[in-house]
Chains A and B, each alone.
Chain A
Amino acid sequence: MKYMLRVLFSLVLFATTAVLAQTDVVESDSTTVVTEQTPAPVSMFEAKDKDNDHGHAFVLNWELSADDGAGLDNVLTYEVFRWTPNISDSIGIIDTLLNVAIVDNGPLNQTTATDAEQRIDSLMTAFLGPLANASAQEKGARLHELRAAYVERLAEVHSAYPANGYWRKIKVVPFGTTSCEDVGGKEPENSGYIPDFTDYYYRVDAVTADTLVRAESKIAGPVQSSGQWFNTGRVPVLCFVIIFTILTLYFVQAAKKGTDLYVRPLGGIEAVDDAIGRATEMGKPILYVLGLGSAADVATIASFTILGRVAKKVAEYQTELIVPTYDPIVMSVAQEVVKSAYYDAGRPDSYNEDTVFFVTQSQFAYVAAVNGIMLRDLPATNIYMGKFYAESLILAETGALAGSIQISGTDEIAQIPFFIVACDYTLIGEELYAASAYLGREPVLLGSLKAQDYAKAAIIILAIIGLIAGNLDWTGFTGLFEVTN
């Protein structure tokens, strides 16, 4: 009996120990493995066409998951998915493969991470197999045909949702984010092309530290993108365009009727005539540099007017003019301007086609050439008017070294200091535009200059009202100046 009790006790002890040991293991496991709990999904999820754009874009809005910053507080990111038909994926792979083939001219077995290897192999066999011996041009043309067919079928395959497609992750945004945009390419050739008037579907997942633990939102869609003819976010710009146009037209008309529109004298421009006279007396040429701007830059356009004035004086005084240009279009316009000036001066026979010539479109090569002209031809006057960049100081310093009188003008704020230190006269920023009106005395230019002055007066008045409004929190007034998109 005693023996039986001892065995029974031993068994109980063993069993208890085993159970306790088992419990310890469980407890130990529970302390080392952290399991995330599924968070609440986002709410009020909606996808809509982006307003005030050219189309091909969507805006996605949602309200935060209840476990983002509150509740379980375990949402780390939001992953945005777009339903994508398989055909799009296939095109992407072929595109990648073919580009690798064309660029590297190497074997076509380089894979991408977009799909399973088997799938890529089958696509390669189906698409590239028949083109194994084709040239890069033929492969490119074939891909283009395939893309065209794909674009034609896009609306059809998107309408087959949810068949034959999958959810593609397009964006990951951090916790606390409640919106994002999906902006696609405009052209069918773009890999991220989003066609207008085609059904799209979106989903947002609230994701925890363990990316497998996530909560899917409800599906938003179908939604279609489209472009708008009128951008309501730019109404303030339209208003100011109308006001400024009315002001300009009014002053142009006033100038045409003979009203005296006063423009204060500008030191740099007053010096131009003296500098031309000096060059004539010395029998040396005048160098006119139009800068690196294109023919469409405002500073270059203003410079053309000043060039016309200088060329007219030069034609009257029979002085030599040198105009090296950086841009071929600028050269063409400058040639026309100088030619017209010679005609206006009554000396068309004195016009030389080589007065205005093209140098190069490389910035520092152009500078090297102009520097060479300065030191070899030793012009009496150097005039720099237009858009200048890093070359401004090199040009102005060389001109000073050559002993020339120098007059400059640019609207490039960063380059004005260099001209100020190295030139005799400098037109600062808007003075360059004013100079063209001052010299030309044409009603259109004078009218626009007057309109600019009134616009500046308007800025002062509006800024004072805005300051008062800002200090008194009148957001209605300051909101008038908010331009979006």
Chain B
Amino acid sequence: MKRSSYIVLGVVSAIFVLSWVMKSMSLSEVDDSIMQGFLLTVSAFLTLSIFSFLYKDNPFYKFAEHLFVGVSAAFWMCQGFWSTLVGNLIPRVSESLSGFFMVPYQPGSFNFHYWIPVILGLLLLMRLAPKGGWLSRWPLAFIVGTTAGLNFIKYLRSDFIDQVSSTFVPLLGDETNKWTGVGDFFSNLSLSADSQFVALLANWVIFVGVFSGLVYFFFSKEHKGVFGVGSRVGIWILMITFGASFGYTVMGRISLLVGRLTFLFRDWLGLIS
């Protein structure tokens, strides 16, 4: 390590300790104020370490990253073990193991189908054995095949049948906005949400959008001529949709940033009430 690195580390450590002491003093009315002060300081330190990535990769970011990855990996492993194996499987298959893990044994609820995931799980672990690696392909095939089959039905309904039926829109107006002629249409022209113009426009956008979008995603024909025009309209409609979606999502992200800044300026520094 360079001398400058030692200086930076020393300054950050000093700020950390100073923050811990000051937060503990400001939380003196709270029980366990020293621990609360420590946790708040650690949270602020990790938040700033992650933010430091905006400058460039650095040891503080690396520390926060490795801590985050390690803790989360361990957390999800423990969660899977205690909720799936101990919480669901063991009470149904073994009284002695239930006693060992201190979970209520459920006699009479034993079913053979609980052993199927156990066997598949063990087969999955066979990839660790030098000669039994091929066995791990069976559970993989089972998982991928079963869920692909289930998704086929799900998507056929949601992305095909429901989409087709949603395209059955009245292009000349429905009961509330019945078409009564060009004269009436122009004389009642309005941009209010319940006007005939807006209702018809919405239906035409659905109609044109669906058709041109489908043309764009048609892979068996080159996009030339009339087909090419339809395809270009399709990509324009897609891009306008993506632009709207982009703006909407960015606003959501801004609120996340505001949440972290609020933590830093209110909970840690106490600069805002």
Interface residues of A (CB under 8 A from B): 135-141, 143-145, 148, 189, 234, 236-237, 240-241, 244, 261-264, 266, 294-298, 301, 329, 332-333, 335-336, 358-362, 364-366, 368-369, 371-372, 375-376, 390, 393, 413-414, 416-418, 420-421, 428-431, 434, 438, 449-450, 452-453, 455-457, 459-460, 462-463, 466-467, 469-471, 478, 481-483
Contacts and interface: CB of A to CB of B under 8 A. Distances in A.
Interface stretch (B10-18, B165-173, B183-191, B259-267): B165-173
B117 to A, nearest CB: 13
B112 to A, nearest CB: 16
Interface string B83-108: 00000000000000011001111111
B68 A139 contact: no
A457 B215 CA distance: 9
B156 A359 contact: no
A463 B164 CA distance: 6
Most chain B CB neighbours (cut-off 10 Å) among A301, A362, A366, A413: A362
Contacts of A264: 219-223
B107 A144 contact: yes
Contacts of A372: 57, 61-62, 65
Given A139-B104, A481-B161, A483-B161, A459 B245 contact: no
Given A362-B73, A375-B57, A417-B243, A462 B65 contact: no
Contacts, number: 202
Interface residues of B, number: 73
B114 interface: no
Contact of A240 (B71, B76, B147, B160): B160
Interface of B: 50, 53, 56-57, 61-62, 64-65, 68-69, 71-73, 75-76, 98-99, 102-109, 124, 127, 136-137, 140, 143-144, 146-148, 151-153, 155-157, 160-165, 167-172, 207, 210-211, 214, 217-223, 238-239, 241-243, 245-246, 249, 253
27 contacts: A138-B104, A141-B106, A141-B107, A144-B105, A144-B107, A240-B161, A244-B156, A264-B222, A296-B143, A298-B151, A332-B124, A335-B127, A336-B140, A362-B75, A364-B68, A365-B68, A366-B69, A368-B50, A368-B69, A369-B69, A413-B245, A453-B218, A466-B165, A466-B167, A467-B169, A467-B207, A471-B171
B57, B151, B211 pick with most chain A CB within 10 angstroms: B57
A414 B251 CA distance: 13
A12 to B, nearest CB: 72
A470 B170 contact: yes
Contacts of A420: 239, 242
B217 A429 contact: yes
Contact of B69 (A263, A359, A471, A483): A359
A438 B220 CA distance: 11
A470 B68 CA distance: 55
Nearest to B151: A298
Nearest to A376: B57
Q: Chain A at the B interface: mostly helix, strand, loop or mixed?
A: helix
A266 B222 CA distance: 11
Nearest to A478: B168
A152 B137 CA distance: 41
Contacts of B76: 360-362
Main secondary structure of the interface of B (DSSP, over half): helix
A413 B239 CA distance: 11
A336 B105 CA distance: 39
Given A135-B102, A141-B105, A365-B69, 19 more contacts: A241-B156, A262-B220, A263-B219, A264-B219, A264-B220, A296-B147, A298-B148, A335-B127, A368-B65, A368-B68, A372-B62, A372-B65, A416-B245, A456-B218, A459-B214, A463-B210, A466-B167, A470-B168, A481-B162
Contact of A365 (B73, B148, B155, B171): B73
A296 B149 CA distance: 9
A264 B216 CA distance: 11
B214 A456 contact: yes
Given A144-B106, A241-B152, A434 B168 contact: no
A366 B221 CA distance: 40
B24 to A, nearest CB: 29
B242 A417 contact: yes
A474 B172 CA distance: 15
B200 to A, nearest CB: 12
Given A362-B75, A455-B160, A241 B153 contact: yes
B99 A470 contact: no
Contact of A482 (B65, B165, B171, B217): B165
Nearest to A453: B220
A177 B143 CA distance: 44
B160 to A, nearest CB: 6
Contacts of B217: 429-431, 456
A157 to B, nearest CB: 19
B140 A332 contact: yes
A145 B75 CA distance: 34
A258 to B, nearest CB: 17
Contacts of B71: 365
A365 B170 CA distance: 49
Contacts of A333: 140, 144
Nearest to B217: A430
Contacts of B171: 467, 471
Contacts of A470: 168-170
B220 A237 contact: no
A263 B165 contact: no
Contact of A137 (B53, B105, B109, B140): B105
A86 to B, nearest CB: 23
